[in-house]
Every structure is written in C-alpha cells, then in structure tokens.
Structure 1
Amino acid sequence: MPTLKSALLVGSLLLTAVSNTVASDKPSVNDTARYLAGMALAETSPLAKLTKDPAWQQHARSLDGSWKELEGRRLSKIRAWSAENLKDRRDPLFYMFSGPDFLYANAFYPQASTYLLSGLEPVGRVPDISERTRRALSNLRSSMGSSISLSFFITKKMKNQLRETELSGTLPILLVYAARSGKTIKEVSLVSLDNEGKLTTVEGKAPQKGVQGAKIVFTSGDAGPQQTLYYFSTDVSNSGIKNSGFLKFADTLGAGDAMFKSASYLPHSGSFSDVRDFVLRKSQYIVQDDSGIPVTYFKPDQWQLFPFGRYLGPIAIFPGRNQTKLAEIYRKGSAKPLDFGMGYRWRPNESNVLLAVRKNVSAAQ
C-alpha cells in the first residue's frame, strides 16, 4: 500500500510533467515571427499545426511572391550599393521617422549591431498566435503593402490598419521584416524611457508616463553576432523631445550613421531642428533621399556630398520643399547612376540618394 510520502512524490512528478508540457506548448518568439512572415516552421513547433490552415498558406504564398519580386527589384541592389559605398559604416544606425521600417534599415545596414528606429505608430505587443489569428493575416499584409511595393508606409492608411485587435501595433510588422531578412529572433521585450533616457523593461501593463518602445534581439541566421533593434513610439518634434528622454537615450549609444527615407520632409522644418542637429552631430555617414536633411545644413568644411540618381523635386503633396542647392548639385553632372528606386519618387529612373560623409570622422560625437 503506497505511503503518503510516495503519493506526494507521484503527484509532484505529475505536476512537473504537466508544467513542462504547458511550457513546451508556448512557441518561441522566433516561431511567432516566422508564422507571421509566412515562413516554414519545424514540425515540432507548437505553431506547426496552424500552418496547415488554407488562410495561412495563402498568406505564405502571397509574401513569398512579394519578397521574390522585391528582392530582385530593390533589396539585393540596395545591399550591393551599400557594400560599395558604405565600406566604413559605423554603429549604431539612427533611423528617425522610420516607423516600423526595419526592412530598408537592414538592406542598407545588414550587419549593424544596434538599430534605433522611431515613429508615432504604437508599439503593440508580440501576439499570442491562435486559430483566430488567421483572420488578421490579410490585414497584416495590407499594412505592409505600400512599404513592399513603393518602399514607404502611407501613414494614415497604416494607422488604421495597425488598430487591428489581433495584430496591433508595429511589433508584428517588425517581426515579419526581421524574419524575412534572415534574422533569428532571440528575445523581444517591451521597454520604457524616463525623462532622463533611462531604459526600463516593462513587466505587465505599460506605464502611463515615459516613451514606450520595444527591444528586439536577433542574429543573422542561427549564428552570428547579436544585433539589437530598438523601436520607440514618440514625437521627435522639438516640443516632443523636450518632454521625453528619447534623444538622451540615443546619445548613450554613441556616434554612428544615420538614414532618412520618406520622412515627410520633417527634417526641413524648424520644428524638428533638435533631432536634425542631433543626427548631424552624431553621424559619420548619412544616407537619405531629399525628404531628409536639406543640403544647406551640410557645411562644406565638415561634409562631402555624393549624389546618386536624379533629383526631380518633391511630389505634389509636399509643396514648398524643393531644394535649389540640391538641384544645382545634380545639374553639375557628378551624380552616379542608381539602379534601384526608393522614397516618394520610388521608380528607379526618378529616385535620388544623397550620401553625406563627414570629413573628420573623430568629430562625430
């Protein structure tokens, strides 16, 4: 007859077994990213059974087709351009006004150890994948549609689509772009910045004060050095910066490189002079289209400018942002050809890229 002690031992073992089973049923964040990205999962993954669903399989086929076309038309060419022209690139990469555009941050800077992205779009959360998620997959594709086809997000359209309850915020998009860029996601955490720029990991409900963000840790493939992506939902206008610790945190990352793409010409405005001055002070290389920092702010004794493509001026919805000095630079005939398109003038024969290189690298601080 079993003793009380042996009965308790058996009960303890059963509880441990149940606990381990529950733990094993929770997918890794990398599996979650691959599911959202329409990428194959190991048969042992808790999400593998959900990939048998016709809605997910359609999602996977759609993204496979989009990525094959995007890779050939744009991403592979950007990586080749980057390898040729950004040979001495530095970390971190500052990408203000980016929204969840890790796709192009990685195309230009695939080996960066740290990426700092920002936008007004809410952070959201890592979704709990279930059978109900299938209903949100088409909305997820739609939220990325203009970024994939045109190279930029249409802010108002994305804002509405990111309210989708099942896949809300920027995190699902960031995870898709990381997975499709060949990254293996190791960890995702919600974070917050206080007014002094101190980073805190958020446990449970997000605090009401401070700048909300996400920290994603990944590697290229299964091995390789650790890389970190920070995304913060914050207002980077002068008045917004005054009331947050965002630039104070950015300053702790040290000097690096920067990029601007489809930035709504906000760096042209005096209302965004603080973030503009920060980038000019901290960067060695700045890669941008004409919506970034106007060329009049690049002092000739500090910066060397290398134009690529064609400058046709801003599109009609951004009147008053034409740059006479930039047009003069292109008229001199020194611009090198550009075999990919990006920005608001996304067609290859209409796009412009300006590479600004600091003459005295040690001056970046």
Structure 2
Amino acid sequence: MKSKAKLVSSLLLGLLMSCQVLAYKHEETSQASSTGYDQFAHFIAGQPTGRSPWATLEQTPLWEEHARRCNQAWLRLERNQLSRIRTWSSVELKEATAKARTVFYPFGGPDFLYAQAFFPNASDYILVGLEPAGVLPDWQNFSEENWTDYLTRLLKSLEEVLNLTFFKTEDMKQDLEEKEGSGILPILLFFLARTGHEIVSIDRVYILPNGDVGASENFRKPRRPGIHFMARRISFQAPAGGPRYLYYFPLDLSNYSLQRRPGFAAFLKKRQPLNSFVKAASYLMFRPAFSDVRSLLVNESDYLLQDDSGVPIEHFEASKWRLRFYGRYDKPIQLFEERHQPALDQYYRQTQHVPSLSFGFGYRLQPDRSNLILAKRVK
C-alpha cells in the first residue's frame, strides 16, 4: 500500500512540475499551452479540471486530500477576510473602482489575492517584490526527495498568506530560495484560479528606458547593467469583462536600484490612472533610501490605500489630498516600534466616528487593532 501511495505521489508531483517547466520554457504561448496553464492552475488550487491528464490524478486519495485542504483553508479565508473586504470595498472604494484603473502594489511580492479583493475591476495589476519570478527545474531528473522538498516549500508559502494577511519576506526567501524548483509563479497561478480567473498566457518581457514593454526574444543585453530589466506578465480573463494583465517585477525599490532603471517609473506613468496599494511594507518608505518610490506613489496615484507601514502621513499635503481613516491606529508591532507616527495618532484621535474594520489588515491580525488610510487626490 505504501509503495502504491509513493508511486501516485511521485506521479502527481512529477506532473505538477512538468507543467511548471512548460510555463517556464515557452515564452510565447499558443492556445493549446494557455489551456495547459489554466488547467495546471486549477489543479494545484484543488479545483477539478475533469480533463486529461489531470482527470485520473483527480480521482486519487492524494489529490482529494490536497483539494480538501485547499477548500478548507479557502473557505476560512473567504469567511473571515475576503468576503468582508469585498463588502467594504464596494462601499468605500466605489469611486476608485468605478473605472478599470491600474493597481500598483509595491513591496507586495506575489500577493495578488488582497490586491484583487480590494480592487476587483483593475485592468492591470503591477506587483513588485524581491522574490524571484521563477527558476523551474528539469523535472525528469528530479528525485522523490527533490519533489517533496519543493512542494513543502510551496505549500508553506501558501499557508502563510492564507492564515496571515501578508507574506513574510524572510520566510519567502527560505521557501523560494533560488534553486531548482523555486519561484512565485505557482503562487500567482493558485490565486488567479481561486479567484475565478482563466489564465491565457505567461510571458517574460523586458522594460525599456522609455517604459515600453518588449518581448523577451528581442532582448539584447545593454552595455549599461540594469537599464533594461525583466518582468513576468500573465494575461488572464476575468469572470466578466475582457483580458487583464498581471505584471510581476522581481525588483529592489531602493533609490539606487530605481535610478539605474528609469524605465520602471516611465512604465508606471504610461498606465495611469493609478490606484496604489500598500500593506505590511516594513516601513521602508520612512527611510531616505526609499524616497523615490515614495515620491512615485505620492505624485502618480489618484487613490492610495495603505496601512501605517506605507507612506508617512506627513507626505500628504492637505491642499492635494483628502484623507479618510478606518479602524484603530495602535503603535507598530515591536519589530517596527520606532516607526510610531504621532501625527497619525493625532489624526485618529481628532477624527470623530472613525469607521471600524471587520477584517484584519497588515501586521495586525485582529480587526479591532488594524488600520487603513484611504488617500484621494484633490483635483
């Protein structure tokens, strides 16, 4: 019985990884391969495809248990977080989401889940993190131990964001360290499938200094390092509406890095109007070394939704921004306690009838200790 289970386990994991290899090796996708991406995404998300080669595996106890765990975790997340966020967004972000704007989510890593929950009608999602987009393995040469290690790291990363409200950067580095079988691509596909989307294509693209997007096969390494840089672009179909795009940039957002890559700011400016979103950002934009990305957010966003770890409150000029506060502002968690903002504390104390939150957000898991700030540009 054990040997049979091992055989099924090896077959399942091998098939999972073979599909990831396809996603990595084929830069331009055909209709046939796009169907493969979509089926793979739903399969790893615990949603039956009913199609070959997945149908046989979907009848195994191994996959049924995987699907059960996925469904159980998703139902809990839907009940405690996502449904409440969508209800909140439909009222508080009604104006911001009336048009299909671009969502810019710096420091978010692969957290498409929360960006989509708050901004479900976006045309483009631009996610930035330090985690690699993906280095996928030669699955035929992988041992059972390799597969077990890979899947364990992947599931651990998923469980973290499903049980918390954010990815921990240090844990992500360990779970997705750059070796065979690493990367955040499967996480993005999992979230896209679970939120009801169809994956159309997955491409590697590069960004020119003027912000234009080029196909990877036309990429020529520039003389000046960093001036052109790569991104991963996922084209997907929403349950209602036309095609949409998710761009993932494995990019350091420090001033030094952005100044070497002028195309990033140009790329953002070409996708206005912007709804920007910041959550659990390690208070990096309090530092002078991250003033450029802070300026991008303040200068280019029409709406900015964030917790207290985002842009410090003093950077919102009263003549240019209308601010609304939600939840409760408490001192930051111990790791960032020096980032307490007396000015923000005063805003909360002086504002009458601050609406409460029914969901946890950022570093605070409890709704009654979470805060949200919605900044709207005054025109």
Name stretches of at least 5 consecutive residues in structure 2 with no aligned partner.
1-30
1:117/1:232 contact within 8 Å kept: yes
**Counterpart mapping for 1:1-365 below 5 A:** 28-42=36-50, 44-89=51-96, 90=99, 91-124=101-134, 135=148, 136-163=150-177, 167-203=181-217, 210-221=228-239, 224-244=241-261, 245-332=263-350, 333-360=352-379
Q: Deviation of residue 240 (structure 1)?
A: 0.5
- The answer on whether the counterparts of 2:135 and 2:180 sit within 8 Å (CA) in structure 1 is no
**Which range is displaced more, 89-98 or 160-169?**
160-169
Alpha-carbon deviation of 1:27?
5.7
Q: Is the 8 A contact 1:267 1:273 kept in 2?
A: yes
Asked if structure 2 preserves the Cα contact closer than 8 Å seen for 1:26 and 1:46, the reply is no
Distance 2:121 2:71 in 1: 24
Shift of 1:237: 0.8
CA distance in 2, matches of 1:164, 1:243: 23
SS at structure 1 position matched to 2:66: helix
Amino acid at match of 2:289: S
Contact 1:98 1:263 in 2 (8 A): yes
Q: Contact conserved, 1:126 with 1:171, CA < 8 A, in 2? A: no
* Partner deviation per Cα, 1:199-233 (whole Å, 9 max, x = no partner): 22224999685322111111223x53211111111
Bigger drift between 331-340 and 291-300 goes to 331-340
Deviation at 1:138, TM superposition (A): 3.4
User: CA 1:349–1:156 in structure 2 vs 1: closer, same or farther (change >3 Å)?
Assistant: same
Q: For structure 1, list consecutive stretches of 5 or more residues without a partner in the other structure.
A: 1-22, 361-365
Secondary structure in structure 2 of the residue aligned to 1:320: helix
Following the alignment from structure 1 to structure 2, what is the Cα–Cα distance between the partners of residues 25 and 269? Answer: 44
TM-score by length of 2: 0.82
Partner-residue secondary structure (3-state), 1:344: coil
Distance 2:80 2:220 in 1: 40
Query: Structure 1 residues 129 and 148, CA, compared in 2 at 3 Å: closer, same or farther?
Result: farther
Percentage of identical aligned residues: 39
- CA distance change for structure 1 residues 294 and 38 in 2, over 3 Å: closer, same or farther? same
Alpha carbons of structure 1 residues 205 and 29: separation in structure 2 relative to 1, 3 Å: farther
Per the alignment, do residues 329 and 59 of structure 1 end up closer, same or farther by CA in structure 2, a change over 3 Å counting?
A: same
> Measured at CA, do residues 203 and 54 of structure 1 come closer, stay the same or move farther in structure 2, by a change above 3 Å?
farther
**Structure 1: how far apart are the matches of 2:139 and 2:370?**
39
Q: Secondary structure at the match of 2:134?
A: coil
C-alpha distance in 2 between matches for 1:48 and 1:246: 42
The CA deviation at 1:36 is 1.8
Shift of the 82–218 alpha-carbon distance from structure 1 to 2, 3 Å rule, reads same
Relative to structure 1, the CA distance from residue 61 to residue 27 in structure 2 (aligned partners, 3 Å threshold; closer, same or farther) is same
CA RMSD of aligned residues (A): 2.6
Report the number of matched residues: 336
- How far 1:50 sits from its partner (Å)? 3.0
Secondary structure of 1:158's match?
A: helix
Write the distance in 2 (CA, Å) between the matches of 1:294 and 1:237.
16
- 1:31–1:45 Cα contact (<8 Å) kept: no
How far 1:166 sits from its partner (Å)? 6.0
Find the aligned partners of 2:33 and 2:324 in 1 and give their Cα distance: 53
Deviations 1:331-355 (A, max 9, x none): 1234111111010012111100111
Checking the alignment, whether the CA contact within 8 Å between 1:257 and 1:286 is kept in structure 2 is: yes
Alpha-carbon separation, structure 2, partners of 1:204 and 1:150? 40
- Larger radius of gyration, structure 1 or 2? 1
